[in-house]
Copies of this chain bind each other. A is one copy, B any other.
Amino acid sequence: MGISVSEKFANMKPSATREILKATSDPSVIAFAGGSPAVDAFPCEEVKRVSAEILEENPVSALVYGVSEGYEPLRQTVREWLKKRNDIGTDDDTIIITAGGTQVMDITTRIMTNPGDTIICEEPSFIGSLNAFRSHGCKLKGVPIDSDGMNIEALEKAIKECPDAKFIYTIPNFQNPGGTTLSLEKRKAMYRLAKENGLLILEDDPYGNLRVDGEDVPSIKSLDTDGIVIYAGSFSKILAPGIRVAYAVVPKAFAQAFVIGKQVSDVHTGVLNQMIVERWFEEYDVDAHIEDIKKIYRKKLNLMCDCLDKYCPKIEYVRPQGGLFLWAKLPDNVDMLDYCKRLVENKVAVVPGTAFMIDDEAPCHYIRMNFSTPSDENIVKGIEIMAQVLKEY
């Protein structure tokens, strides 16, 4: 009798992004494949200072068990900051701290779905979330995106076709990988469709603070008068991803289940980690820090776009208004996977678009390019190499 992994996991593959990231740990490779903040965007001195203070003044508090909901002062800080900055959260919402944003997708899927249920999402979408959904045995129903986000007619059709759908997953701002932002009109339409059809919306917003152009669009959560939206925010892109602190804003009806989902996942998020974030808010101006890093990203995004326009005019893309990624379409005569392989041979790494598709074996002409991690010099150099390799076709 053999021991084997469960049906849910038998077909799971490691994330292609992760495998590419591993392959490109070689420092001589120009990494357009990552998703980390820029090195000069990390508030290193600040983290060093607040950590030292915490461990000097109150080490035992930082080292004992915490509660599953999260460190109370951080929950309160996030509540006030979100209300002020994004008009998110009512008295009927609970803030729960998680270990990174992916955990919000995982816990929501744990508590809201049974194996075989369907999750409706943008296609393409973030592979980490898609894999979290798949790992619970859920089916995925993709909805194509326009330049202003999810196509609403297609969403309506998808809902009709999937009576076992449990929630709509969306990255409304600077979608990963699409780079698109869902218009206010479409946000309202999505909310109305969800409400009419008894669906929850899982609004994943790790990039919303990184707008470098245009006007902020109100979050779907800020429209949530019916308690049907779980909002996921994160400190990974504005503070640091390695610290693993994010948060969920959860309507009352699901809050207890969400806390239990957190408790059975990992009991609670690291207390020192949470105290670092809380004290960072206490001692520094987080909104000013966000303005500073937006300057870095605006410059890098413009540089990447200018270089693509100059060296690779045949590569098409919609210029995003923020976030970390460009979603770029190769000319029809270019085999996308072959191109990605040749790029790695030439020391440039991008993510093949298939990684973000529900059927990752369907034909795809897209690649995802990250502009936050590479240096300015490497952005120019990498795109020059992309242009050279493109000429081989």
Using a CB–CB cutoff of 8 Å, the interface residues on chain A facing chain B are 1-3, 5-9, 12-15, 18, 21-22, 34-36, 39, 42, 44, 47-48, 51-52, 55-56, 59-60, 62-68, 98-100, 102-103, 106, 110-115, 117, 128, 131-132, 134-135, 137, 197-200, 228, 240-244, 253-254, 256-257, 259-261, 263-273
Contact = CB atoms under 8 A, between A and B. Distances in A.
A261 B135 contact: yes
Contacts of A115: 114-115
Nearest to A167: B3
A199 B265 CA distance: 23
Contacts of A67: 18, 21-22
A2 B166 CA distance: 11
Contacts of A106: 264-266
B48 A135 contact: no
A111 B128 CA distance: 17
B272 A242 contact: yes
Given A68-B18, A264-B131, A267-B100, A63 B51 contact: no
11 contacts: A3-B199, A12-B257, A35-B65, A42-B60, A42-B63, A48-B52, A128-B264, A131-B260, A131-B263, A132-B264, A243-B272
B257 A9 contact: yes
A70 to B, nearest CB: 12
Nearest to A49: B55
Contact of A257 (B1, B5, B263, B268): B5
A277 to B, nearest CB: 12
Contacts of A48: 52, 55-56, 59
Contact of A270 (B99, B132, B228): B99
B52 A65 contact: no
B243 A114 contact: no
Given A47-B63, A63-B242, 10 more contacts: A6-B112, A6-B117, A14-B256, A21-B67, A48-B56, A65-B242, A103-B266, A243-B270, A266-B266, A272-B272
Contact of A9 (B62, B68, B261, B271): B261
B47 A59 contact: yes
Nearest to A130: B264
B131 A241 contact: no
Contacts of A270: 99, 242-244, 270, 273
Contacts of A200: 3
Contact of A265 (B36, B42, B103, B242): B103
Contact of A114 (B6, B35, B257): B6
A257 B3 CA distance: 13
Q: Pick the 9 closest A-B CB pairs, nearest first.
A: A1-B198, A63-B240, A242-B271, A44-B59, A48-B55, A135-B264, A132-B264, A5-B257, A244-B270
A245 B14 CA distance: 23
A106 B265 CA distance: 6
Contacts of A34: 65
Given A5-B112, A272-B243, A14 B263 contact: yes
A242 B5 contact: no
A18 B199 CA distance: 31
Contacts of A271: 242-243
Contacts of A9: 110-111, 257, 260-261
Contacts of A266: 98-100, 102-103, 106, 244, 265-266
Nearest to A268: B244
A356 to B, nearest CB: 16
B14 A267 contact: no
